[in-house]
Amino acid sequence: MFKSNGKSIWCVLPISWLFVEGVIAKESALWNADHEGIIDQPETIYKVFFPNELLARQAAISFHGQLLETDYKSGYMIMELTNEDKYKLKVYGFTFESAEQWVAERDRKLQAIQQQLKQRKILSERGERHVLMSGIPGYPCYQTVEETFQAAEAFTKNYPTLAEWLDVGNSWEKAAGKGGYDIKVLKLTNKNAKELKPILFANSAIHAREYTTAPLNLAFARHLLEGYGEDADATWILDHHEVHLMLMTNPDGRKKAESGHYWRKNTNQNYCGATSSNRGADLNRNFSFSWNTVSGGSSGNSCNETYRGSSPASEPEIKAIESYVRNLFPDRRGPDNDDAAPLDTMGLHLDIHSYSELVLWPWGTTRNTAPNGMQLQTLGRKFAFFNGYMPQQSIGLYPTDGTSDGISYGELGVPAFTFELGTQFFQSCSTFESKILPDNLAALIYAAKVVRAPYMIPSGPDVTSIKINNDFSAQRSSQGIPVTLSASVTDTRFSRRNGTEPTQAISAAEYYINVPPWKKGATAVPLQAVDGRFDEKTETVSGIVDTSELPVGKHMLYVRSQDADGNWGAVSAIFLPITNEPNINYCKAESINSSDEWISKVQVGQFIHTSGASHYSDFTELKTGKTIPLMLGRNEVTLTPDFAGRAYGEYWRIWIDFNRDGDFADSGEMVFDPGSSTTTTQRGVITVSSNAIIHQEENIKTRMRVVMRYKDAPSPCGRFSYGEVEDYTVEIRSK
Report the run of H or E that residue 443 belongs to, with start and end.
helix 437-450
What does the alpha-carbon distance between residue 93 and residue 686 come to, in Å, rounded to a whole number?
Answer: 78
Q: Where are the alpha helices (DSSP H) in 159-290?
A: 172-175, 213-227, 232-240, 251-257
In whole angstroms, what is the distance from residue 728 CA to residue 706 CA? 8
Pairing mode, if any, of strands 348-354 and 416-421?
Answer: parallel
Burial environment of residue 83 by CB neighbours within 10 A (0 to 12, 13 to 18, 19 or more): middle
Round to whole Å and give the CA distance between 190 and 197: 10
Separation between Cα atoms, residue 656 and residue 663, nearest integer Å: 9
Contacts of 355 (CB under 8 A, 6+ apart): 60, 67, 70, 210, 212, 420, 421, 422, 423, 424, 425, 427
Instruction: Specify the DSSP element, H or E, that contains 199.
Output: strand 199-204
136 secondary structure, DSSP code: B
What distance in Å separates the CA atoms of residue 619 and residue 604, rounded to the nearest whole number?
14
Amino acid at 401: D
Sign of CA dihedral 401, 402, 406, 408: negative
Asked whether the beta carbons of 40 and 77 are under 8 A apart, the reply is no
Q: How far is residue 526 from each of residues 449, 487, 536, 721, measured CA to CA in Å?
A: 21, 12, 17, 47
Q: Say how many CA atoms lie within 13 Å of 387 toward its Cβ.
A: 31
User: Using CA atoms, how far apart are residues 610 and 206, in angstroms rounded to an integer?
Assistant: 37
Helix crossing, 232-240 with 213-227: angle to 10°?
100
Query: Can you list the pairs that 147-152 forms with residues at least 24 positions away whose Cβ atoms lie under 8 Å?
Result: 148/214, 148/218, 148/247, 148/248, 149/181, 149/184, 149/247, 149/248, 150/644, 151/218, 151/222, 151/595, 152/184, 152/186, 152/218, 152/221, 152/247
Q: Facing residues of 226 across strands?
A: none
- Number of other residues whose CB lies within 10 A of the CB of residue 632: 16
Helical ranges in 127-187 per DSSP H? 145-158, 172-175
Of 411, 420, 581, 597, which residue is the catalytic one? 420
Residue 116 three-state SS: helix
Q: Is 420 a catalytic residue?
A: yes
For residue 622, the SS3 value is: helix
Q: At 88, phi and psi to the nearest 5?
A: -65, -35
Give the C-alpha separation, 354 to 97, whole Å: 24
Per the rule left: phi > 0, alpha: psi between -120 and 50, beta: everything else, 562 is beta
Residue 338, SS3 per DSSP: coil
Buried b (16+ CB within 10 A) or exposed e, 613-629: bbbbbbbbbbbbeebbe
Angle at the Cα of 597 from the Cα atoms of 621 and 436, rounded to 5 degrees: 90
Q: In what order do the strands lie in the sheet with 67-71?
A: 67-71, 76-81, 44-49, 95-98
Quick one: which H or E segment has residue 109?
Answer: helix 100-126
Backbone angles phi, psi at 400, to 5 degrees: -130, 150
Beta carbons within 10 angstroms of residue 467's beta carbon: 12
DSSP per-residue codes, 39-75: -PPPPEEEEEE-SSHHHHHHHHHHTGGGEEEEETTTT
Q: Which residues are part of the catalytic machinery?
A: 420
